[in-house]
Chains A and B, each alone.
Chain A
């Protein structure tokens, strides 16, 4: 609170504040742009919702491939490692640019040239690599004695993974996963670099036309409104899990 007070005081007392107030906090422009931003924000929300599901599928598949032991899967394991290493190394914005402009330019038969789709693919590939690592950490955290007792009961390796390891791993990684999803919610704004009319690009367009930056502040408020519930939900889950672990350790 004190920090916020000081920050606001510094902002208000700064020499350029009058000018900034006019170009960033103009109520008329805010009221005028909020409807358009809201309708274009739907693009961000939709991207997030669709990508989120696909990211979970990609992440878990890659993590399971890396955790597999079967010799026949060795080439796939190598592929999974390369995928994670490469995709985590590329800045997400570059991947969005490369796929969003690159793939449609190839003019390949049967592949859509819709840049929004390719932006989504870029987000899925980029976040899939992160989420795969989160799942892998969860899988590694399940104690070997759990695997031994599943095998002693006659479960195959696949059954052990499916019924014993993965359910425990998933429970443990829910909080870090939600954290990644908060970050994804914000990164849907990256599609604006392709000129896709999401809330950010709309705000940019509006700002350029009217020579006023207020819409940027409005979009920021929209993103905050989207991420705060997820953040509170993550806190709640973490608190509940901590309480449960303490009960178990008693």
Chain B
């Protein structure tokens, strides 16, 4: 097998006295969809933020494409070009149109011309059903549309890994489906993703690997059939019986 695209070894992270992540090992191969599950406060968001270097880590290493990105000499901006993130609360820029939201980083960070950035963004927006909203400001869109626009914004940077942090958690139930459908489509296109989610049915369907986090540790991980079908750990069973 090839080397993993993203590899985490012995990651440790604490806020002051409080250890939030400990001994985290994780290997993500190209085309993988890794789902992080676990109760609220187990460290899913923090792990994703560390992968994107939005949080400094205390110990351990993170390799992206064979290069150690946890090295303090690495420019985090270079890493963030390759690692896209979408947050729970979409965080679109309210003063920019949907199109300008999607082209800001490609133009400023990747140095694309306006025409190139716009044609690429338009294509993705059309593909994900936002063609009618290209020139609208985010406040004109529904929550589901905003979250899809945020996904397109991240995709416009052509990241090699996409991190999604509970992207459906802030949505009304009837809007969850349209966003998950988009993620399924990306998974079918072999986009590599690490996502924190509470949607167990979705994780079972789409994930190649599911990791159960408990108090900052990956207690158990494996293919969804194993983790959902025959969980090894007592705590995993307890968590699953609560959410399924």
Contact = CB atoms under 8 A, between A and B. Distances in A.
Given A145-B89, A145-B91, A171-B95, A153 B54 contact: no
Interface string A159-187: 10001100110010000000000000000
B87 interface: yes
Contacts of A155: 77, 104-105, 108-109
A149 B92 CA distance: 8
B80 A151 contact: yes
Contacts of B54: 148, 151-152
B202 interface: no
Nearest to B80: A154
A167 B93 CA distance: 10
A107 B85 CA distance: 61
Given A145-B87, A145-B89, A152 B52 contact: yes
A106 interface: no
A167 B95 contact: yes
A149 B91 contact: yes
Secondary structure at the B interface, as helix, strand, loop or mixed, is mixed
Task: Sort chain B's interface into a size bin.
Answer: 20 to 34
B91 A154 contact: no
A145 B170 CA distance: 15
A168 B94 contact: yes
Interface residues of A, number: 20
Nearest to A147: B91
Given A151-B80, A159-B108, A146 B91 contact: yes
Contacts of B93: 146, 149-150, 164, 168
B148 interface: no
10 contacts: A145-B91, A149-B91, A150-B93, A151-B54, A154-B80, A155-B109, A156-B77, A163-B104, A244-B139, A248-B94
Q: Which 9 A-B pairs have the closest CB atoms?
A: A149-B91, A248-B139, A153-B105, A154-B80, A154-B109, A152-B85, A154-B81, A167-B95, A154-B77
Interface of B: 52, 54, 77-78, 80-81, 84-85, 87, 89, 91, 93-95, 104-105, 108-109, 139, 153-154, 157
Given A154-B78, A159-B109, 4 more contacts: A146-B91, A152-B84, A171-B95, A248-B94
Interface of A: 145-146, 148-156, 159, 163-164, 167-168, 171, 244, 247-248
